[in-house]
Structure 1
Amino acid sequence: MPHQEFAPGLQVQGFTPPLRLSQFKLIAFDMDSTLINIECVDEIADAVGLKEEVAAITEAAMRGEITDYKESLRRRVALLRGVTVADMELIYTSRLELNPGAEALVKACKAAGLKTLLVSGGFTFFTDRIRDRLGIDFTRSNVLEIESGPNCGQLTGRMVDQPWGDICDGAEKRKMLLETCSQLGISPKQAIAVGDGANDLPMMGEAGLSVAYHAKPRVREHAMVAINQGGLDRLLEVIRS
Structure 2
Amino acid sequence: MTDATEFAPGLMIRGITAPQKLSDYKLIAFDMDSTLITIECIDEIADATGKKEEVAAITEATMRGEITDFKDSLRQRVGKLGGVTEADMAIVLAERLKLSPGAETLVKAAKAAGLKVLLVSGGFTYFAEHVRALLDIDFVRANVLESKDGVLTGGLVEQAWGDICDGAEKRRTLLEVASLIGIDASQCIAVGDGSNDIPMMQVAGLSVAYHAKPRVRNEAKVAINEGGLDRLLEVLK
Short-chain TM bin = over 0.9
Q: TM-score, structure 1 length as denominator?
A: 0.97
- For 1:178, the equivalent position in structure 2 comes to 175
- For 1:109, the equivalent position in structure 2 comes to 110
Question: Once superposed, what is the RMSD of the aligned Cα atoms?
Answer: 0.5
- For 1:239, the equivalent position in structure 2 comes to 236
- For 1:34, the equivalent position in structure 2 comes to 35
Separation (CA, whole Å) in 2 of partners of 1:55 and 1:67:
16
Unaligned stretches of 5+ in structure 1?
Answer: none
Identical aligned residues as a percent: 69
Q: Write the letter of the residue equivalent to 1:44.
A: I
Give the secondary structure class of the aligned counterpart of 2:164: coil
Matched, 1:133 2:130: no
- For 2:65, the equivalent position in structure 1 comes to 64
Matched, 1:203 2:204: no
Separation (CA, whole Å) in 1 of partners of 2:234 and 2:69:
36
Q: Write the letter of the residue equivalent to 2:228.
A: G
Separation (CA, whole Å) in 2 of partners of 1:193 and 1:42:
24
* Deviation, structure 1 residue 16: 1.1
Give the secondary structure class of the aligned counterpart of 2:12: strand
- For 1:18, the equivalent position in structure 2 comes to 19
Separation (CA, whole Å) in 2 of partners of 1:166 and 1:37:
25
Give the secondary structure class of the aligned counterpart of 1:202: helix
Separation (CA, whole Å) in 2 of partners of 1:203 and 1:191:
10
Q: TM-score, structure 2 length as denominator?
A: 0.99
Moved more, 1-10 or 198-207: 1-10
Q: Write the letter of the residue equivalent to 1:157.
A: G
Separation (CA, whole Å) in 2 of partners of 1:12 and 1:67:
27
Separation (CA, whole Å) in 1 of partners of 2:12 and 2:131:
28
Separation (CA, whole Å) in 1 of partners of 2:191 and 2:183:
18
- For 2:5, the equivalent position in structure 1 comes to 4
Q: Write the letter of the residue equivalent to 1:215.
A: A
- Number of aligned residues: 236
Superposed, 1:46-61 pairs within 5 Å as 46-61=47-62
Q: Write the letter of the residue equivalent to 2:26.
A: K
Q: Write the letter of the residue equivalent to 2:183.
A: I
Separation (CA, whole Å) in 2 of partners of 1:155 and 1:166:
16
Separation (CA, whole Å) in 2 of partners of 1:22 and 1:124:
29
Runs of 4 or more consecutive aligned structure 1 residues displaced over 2 Å after TM superposition:
none
Unaligned stretches of 5+ in structure 2?
Answer: none
Superposed, 1:157-172 pairs within 5 Å as 157-172=154-169
- For 1:73, the equivalent position in structure 2 comes to 74
* Deviation, structure 1 residue 54: 0.1
Give the secondary structure class of the aligned counterpart of 1:200: helix
- For 2:212, the equivalent position in structure 1 comes to 215
Give the secondary structure class of the aligned counterpart of 2:73: helix
**1:28-79 CA distance string (max 9 Å, x none):** 0000000000000000000000000000000000001111100000000000
